[in-house]
Amino acid sequence: MKAAYRYADLQLVMAGKKIHLQPEDYVGEQPLGEGRFTYRIIKRDQYAEVSVDIQAVKDGDQRTGCPQWEPARSRS
């Protein structure tokens, strides 16, 4: 892989609803840098809606990985 970013294409079914987070592009985004990363998917229940946050976490790092960035969010 040439570069990883703080968010990625994500498709899942949660609470019986299909959720698709699809980046249009990565213009203006900075690559995460060297190393291995895992995407953490977090379910949010807000205002009777199901939404998903996705965060890139550097493997071996217990923090969110990129504290200066807000997580990407998708609502179904």
What are the average pLDDT values for consecutive 10-residue runs of the chain, which has 76 residues? 82 86 87 88 74 81 48 50
Indicate whether 1 belongs to any domain: no
> What per-residue confidence (pLDDT) applies to 69?
42
Range of the domain at 35: 10-75
Residue 47 lies in a domain: yes
Q: Is the overall model pTM greater than 0.75, yes or no?
A: no
Say what the pLDDT of residue 67 is.
43
> For the residues of 6-64, what is the DSSP string, one character each?
S---EEEEETTEEEEE--S--TTPPP--SS-EEEEEEEEEETTEEEEEEEEEETT--S-
In a domain, 3, yes or no: no
Overall domain count for the chain: 1
Question: Is 27 a domain residue?
Answer: yes
**Residue 16 belongs to some domain of the structure:** yes
pLDDT (0 to 100) of residue 63: 55
Structural domain includes residue 4: no
